[in-house]
Structure 1
Amino acid sequence: MKKSQIIILVIGIVSIIVLYSLPRVVVDNDEGNMEIRAEADEAGTDAAELHDADISESVRNKISSLSQRMSIEEDKGKISSLADSLAAEYTQAGKFDSAAYYLEQAALKLDNAELWEKTGTAYYEAYTFALNEQKIAYLADKTRSYLNKVLDKDPTRLDLKTKVAMTYVSSNNPMQGITMLREILEIDPNNEDGLFNMGVLSMQSGQYKRAAERFEELVRFHPDNLQGQFYLAVSYFESKQNNKAKKQFQDVKNMTQDPMVLASVESYLERL
């Protein structure tokens, strides 16, 4: 995940956007048989609301100019370039749904795999930050609709399949997402996104020992994954493996100079 993600480390606690954007579920030791505890809101989201961003006047004027040019442009190359520029402006402003909206406008005009992927990826990024259930459902559906178009042409894109899988976890059919993640790990047992997301799902369901196993695999093959290293420490802490937790938090301290991460680590160490 990149992605990503999607995840914020807050002093003294782990604030995981992905976890709290997902429905509360129960996952057994095989990460299966999930039981939904929250119902998804099936209503859609007004497209106009998506790209109505509250940003500075100067940036808004620039965006207005770009969008007007894009609306009348007929050259395919220029349409794509204008969409990229608009998406970059909105992304810089932290308005990820708006970035996705304009990429989608270009994708609808040009209908090519490159824009499908850009649009689906942008919608996924917006999805990972969404907190409103109605918006989560809408953005997840948009993500799937575009990324699945790419996957239909190239099923080997496990990075995109992982994103699609995670959108199903927050849907009325979470087992479809779990099944897809399992399939990814069957094809590539060391897949970084697959291992990370399986660990996150185990944490989200309170199965910290199982989460620790997933994160152990992740950091064995991807030792530079700071989020995985941190979540491994948290999983040890939550599963009462205090000696392992202490050592792992010390390892995390040696990996970063980020003050928020370090403060969070110190908070955990004080509790051990």
Structure 2
Amino acid sequence: MKKSQIIAIVIGVAAIAILFSLPRVVVDNDEGAAQITDSEEPTSSNPADMHLGTVDESMAAEIASLKGKMEAEDNQENFATFADSIAELYLEIGKFDSAAYFFELAAEKINSLERLEKTGTAYYEAYTFALNEQKIAFLAEKTRSYLNQVLEKDPKRLDLKTKVAMTYVSSSNPMQGITMLREVLEAEPTNEDALFNMGILSMQSGQYKRAADRFEELVKYHPNNLQGQFYLAVSYFESKQNNKAKKQFEQVKDMTTDPMVLSSVDSYLERL
């Protein structure tokens, strides 16, 4: 579990709306969703221009050097190699939209399933952190554009189908995303990502008993999923199943030594 996500949980249940790839979704009683907006500025056409000034000097110099070599390269394979190298550097520091931009440049030169997946996955990671409505829509569309090309060749990639599904949840057609997640679970009832995301969607709609059912199913098959174990406890807490919540929070404490996770758990236990 990302530490920033755990910290947010301590603030309260309202923070759930900004956790785990869903910072802009409100879900209705049928596990559907509606989009809401925020105040973040839209992305630039080249996010790397914005991010270059936020990296340390040595990495910025390395990126600038690679970019210069890339732009001067006529050989498509070499161009793609330089672009990939720049993208990997941005991945190291969590600048996913910049990474996606350069993975995309590489994929445009040398098209392969691996490059398409890298590009789509990077765009998806950027999407999960976006807050501005325009940026969300842009990154979601990019994600679908690249990951759907992989799915056309390999429809059994349920992990990618789950990512595509989540991009629809915050769109004008949220039920398409819900339907896709259900299709994933029909094909693989124990799918970890689909069960987790359906649980999160239920939490966001305030359906904590339904969320508890989803997370119970998740940890039944994936007991080491700390996120699922934690959110199961939160779901019990919010649905007033205090005895179950206390037992579950204690179980989470036994699963980790991370001080931020433990602080979050203790915060809930104090309220029981």
* TM-score normalised to structure 1 length: 0.90
Question: Which aligned pairs between 1:1-272 and structure 2 lie closer than 5 A?
Answer: 8-10=5-7, 12-13=10-11, 15=15, 16-18=18-20, 21-28=23-30, 31=31, 34=32, 36=34, 38=36, 45-49=43-47, 51-53=49-51, 54-272=54-272
Secondary structure of the residue aligned to 2:6 is: strand
Identity %: 63
Give the unaligned 5+ runs of structure 2: none
Secondary structure of the residue aligned to 1:18 is: coil
Is the 2:24–2:131 contact (alpha carbons within 8 Å) kept by the matching residues of 1? no
Q: Which segment is superposed worse, 118-127 or 85-94?
A: 85-94
Is the 1:51–1:101 contact (alpha carbons within 8 Å) kept by the matching residues of 2? no
Q: Which segment is superposed worse, 187-196 or 49-58?
A: 49-58
* TM-score normalised to structure 2 length: 0.90
C-alpha separation between the residues in 2 aligned to 1:40 and 1:267? 28
1:68: how far off?
1.7
C-alpha separation between the residues in 1 aligned to 2:80 and 2:145? 19
C-alpha separation between the residues in 1 aligned to 2:231 and 2:211? 8
Aligned residue identity for 1:27: N
Secondary structure of the residue aligned to 1:47 is: coil
Question: Alpha carbon RMSD of aligned pairs, Å?
Answer: 2.3
Q: Deviations over 1:192-236 (max 9, x none)?
A: 001000001001111000000000000000001000000000000
C-alpha separation between the residues in 2 aligned to 1:216 and 1:265? 18
Secondary structure of the residue aligned to 1:24 is: strand
C-alpha separation between the residues in 2 aligned to 1:85 and 1:49? 16
Is the 1:73–1:79 contact (alpha carbons within 8 Å) kept by the matching residues of 2? yes
Judged with a 3 Å threshold, the aligned counterparts in structure 2 of structure 1 residues 232 and 124 are, in CA distance, closer, same or farther, namely same
1:24: how far off?
2.0
Aligned residue identity for 1:18: F
1:87: how far off?
1.6
C-alpha separation between the residues in 2 aligned to 1:241 and 1:180? 31
Secondary structure of the residue aligned to 2:25 is: coil
C-alpha separation between the residues in 2 aligned to 1:86 and 1:37? 33
Judged with a 3 Å threshold, the aligned counterparts in structure 2 of structure 1 residues 94 and 76 are, in CA distance, closer, same or farther, namely same
Aligned residue identity for 2:263: A
Secondary structure of the residue aligned to 2:20 is: helix
Aligned residue identity for 1:46: S
Q: Deviations over 1:116-166 (max 9, x none)?
A: 000000000111111222211111110000000000111110000000000
Is the 1:44–1:134 contact (alpha carbons within 8 Å) kept by the matching residues of 2? yes
Q: Which segment is superposed worse, 143-152 or 5-14?
A: 5-14
Aligned pairs, number: 264
Aligned residue identity for 2:82: L
C-alpha separation between the residues in 2 aligned to 1:121 and 1:37? 22
Secondary structure of the residue aligned to 1:36 is: strand
1:71: how far off?
2.2
1:83: how far off?
2.6
More helix by share: 2
Judged with a 3 Å threshold, the aligned counterparts in structure 2 of structure 1 residues 109 and 6 are, in CA distance, closer, same or farther, namely farther
Judged with a 3 Å threshold, the aligned counterparts in structure 2 of structure 1 residues 96 and 5 are, in CA distance, closer, same or farther, namely farther
